[in-house]
Chain A
Amino acid sequence: MNAQQNDTPILRAEHFTKYLTGRKILDDCSISMRPGDVKVLIGPSGAGKSTFLQCINCLLEPDAGEIWLGERKVDFKNTRELYDLRQHVGMIFQEFNLFDHLSAERNVALALRKVRGMSKADALQRAHVELARVGLEDKAKLFPAQLSGGQKQRVAIARALAMDPTILLLDEPTSALDPELVGEVLTVIRDLAAHGMPMIMVTHQMEFARAVATEILFMEAGRVIEQGSPEELLAPGAQTRTQDFCTRLYELCGDVDSAQESRN
């Protein structure tokens, strides 16, 4: 039973092509997720990483390509199937996108009530469970404007998890955070990975990616040009485009580190 489950990808996105304002942003990109997979998309700005992610739950409708949930092909022109797909695919945004007019608990409860049809009391109870899971049970009554960036992102994660997604998409979840708040969000994500939540994540946190990723996909100009485990792509002397990119990222960060060291 388990073996068979592991053989069937829980989600496949195949041969995605997407044009935006006449420009080809995605060019034949595919990804396949098995239980427990954590895949990291990296690449230079404008490579199409975010577009790829948003095509997977059809926030942007791909111009060509197929989405498979398990063994079922999703007809995303059919609104019912589209809404169903989105319930299976949770999404975390760079800018958090909490509902500004709702408290933390209601942010989590809203879709439970509207989409799942749960009663208000049940939805709020579930919201508290999810908020506790990201360590925010004491902030349930606060509004987004009263939370720090890291707390907002954790509420956003709780909101996505409350829908029991089969897979989570994370679009640069820590890029809009102050450096001292990055850790609390990464801790939550690492914890999810450890519990086997399948995730596709766009990030520039290379150390983190190396630690949790089962596979790295390097994108450039709308294509996935390298794909492999972190050990393969980042092995010393691997001579990959990924390694080159990461080295340059590392040099930038390394400069900051050494500057701090020399100050100390």
Chain B
Amino acid sequence: MLDLIDINFLTGRVMPYLDRGLMMSLQLIVPASLIGGFIGVIMGVMRVFGSPWMKRGTDAVVAVIRGVPLTVQLMILYFGLPSLPGVKIYLSPYAAALIGFIVCTASYQSEYVRGALLSIRQGQIKAAQALGMTRWQTIWSVIVPQAVRRALPGCGNEIIYLIKYSSLAYIVTCIELTGEAKVLVSRTFRPTEVYLVAACYYLVMVSAATWLLAKLEKKLAIPGFGAQK
């Protein structure tokens, strides 16, 4: 029991290790959520308003990405691509993890965006067209700005998922927070403290993300969208 509050051990050994892991986690999470979110919006638009082959292509990508466990996808990216005959793509652990996360999060985001796009009333589209706006002008300046606001709660949820599934990066030897914790446990044999501290780190990250997303929702709030008056 005394071990649990061994401050010297926590601050002297656990936190330096985990701080380093935290930095790597953030280097995965921040670009993956931003790039993945952006690609997700584009994929969502393609799935709703794209030409038939665009729809079919993006639907197929989403079906595969959602249908295969992320662990397996990461393994294919890191271990599978180099041994693929004629391809021989070697990705660094960081690149493999980042690409895997971007593709995964973009696919899920596109589903939230698609739902929001479909919820925009036909009248909005007709009004834009009646003013002589082109199809893509209508989509980008009328439909998407409204849809993004409607999709935001769902998209935020996906970012919070991303923070937690970023812990899978260690299986392709990209040593982030969970990876560092694992290494440290194997050296110190004190899993309770180490994993508890790692858990706290994740909790702090998720809380910070929740706070940021709430701020963003507030900033984008417009009378008539959402519940607040």
Query: A: which residues have CB within 8 A of B?
Result: 54, 57, 59, 79, 83-84, 86-87, 89-91, 93, 95, 97-101, 110-111, 114-115, 143-146, 156, 159-160, 163
* Those of B123-153 within 8 Å (CB) of chain A: 123-124, 126-134, 137, 141-142, 145-146, 149
Query: Do A115 and B132 contact each other (CB < 8 Å), given the known contacts A101-B225, A145-B224?
Result: yes
B222 touches A143 (CB 8 A): yes
B interface residues, how many (CB within 8 angstroms): 22
B85 interface hit (Cβ, 8 Å): no
A159 touches B131 (CB 8 A): yes
Q: How far is the CB of B81 from chain A (nearest CB, A)?
A: 42
Residues of chain B within 8 A (CB-CB) of A156 are 127
**How far is it, in angstroms, between the C-alpha of A84 and the C-alpha of B137 when the chains are bound?**
15
B133 touches A114 (CB 8 A): yes
Q: How far is the CB of A18 from chain B (nearest CB, A)?
A: 16
**How far is it, in angstroms, between the C-alpha of A159 and the C-alpha of B133 when the chains are bound?**
13
The 9 closest A-B pairs by CB, nearest first: A145-B224, A97-B127, A111-B131, A87-B132, A97-B123, A91-B130, A86-B132, A145-B223, A143-B223
**How far is it, in angstroms, between the C-alpha of A86 and the C-alpha of B125 when the chains are bound?**
13
A93 touches B126 (CB 8 A): yes
Residues of chain B within 8 A (CB-CB) of A97 are 121, 123-124, 126-127
B129 touches A59 (CB 8 A): yes
**How far is it, in angstroms, between the C-alpha of A159 and the C-alpha of B130 when the chains are bound?**
11
Residues of chain A within 8 A (CB-CB) of B126 are 54, 59, 93, 97
**How far is it, in angstroms, between the C-alpha of A90 and the C-alpha of B127 when the chains are bound?**
10
Minimal Cβ-Cβ distance residue in A for B224: A145
* 18 pairs from A and B in contact (CB 8 Å cutoff): A57-B130, A84-B132, A86-B129, A86-B132, A87-B131, A90-B130, A93-B126, A93-B127, A98-B127, A100-B224, A101-B146, A101-B222, A111-B128, A114-B133, A115-B137, A146-B223, A146-B224, A156-B127
Count, A-B residue pairs, CB within 8 A: 77
**Secondary structure of the B contact surface, majority rule:** helix
A99 touches B124 (CB 8 A): yes
Bitwise interface map of B from 195 to 229 toward A, beta carbon under 8 Å scored 1, else 0: 00000000000000000000000000011110000
**How far is it, in angstroms, between the C-alpha of A14 and the C-alpha of B189 when the chains are bound?**
86
Residues of chain B within 8 A (CB-CB) of A163 are 131-132
Minimal Cβ-Cβ distance residue in B for A89: B130
**How far is it, in angstroms, between the C-alpha of A95 and the C-alpha of B124 when the chains are bound?**
10
B224 touches A144 (CB 8 A): yes
**How far is it, in angstroms, between the C-alpha of A31 and the C-alpha of B145 when the chains are bound?**
38
Residues of chain A within 8 A (CB-CB) of B225 are 100-101, 145
Residues of chain A within 8 A (CB-CB) of B134 are 79, 83
Residues of chain B within 8 A (CB-CB) of A86 are 129-132
Residues of chain A within 8 A (CB-CB) of B121 are 97
**How far is it, in angstroms, between the C-alpha of A3 and the C-alpha of B149 when the chains are bound?**
54
A115 touches B133 (CB 8 A): yes
**How far is it, in angstroms, between the C-alpha of A100 and the C-alpha of B129 when the chains are bound?**
15
B127 touches A99 (CB 8 A): yes
Minimal Cβ-Cβ distance residue in A for B135: A79
Minimal Cβ-Cβ distance residue in A for B127: A97
For the A-B complex with A83-B133, A86-B130 known, give 15 more contacts whose Cβ atoms are closer than 8 Å.
A54-B126, A59-B130, A86-B132, A87-B131, A91-B127, A93-B123, A93-B127, A93-B130, A100-B146, A101-B142, A111-B132, A111-B133, A144-B224, A145-B224, A146-B223
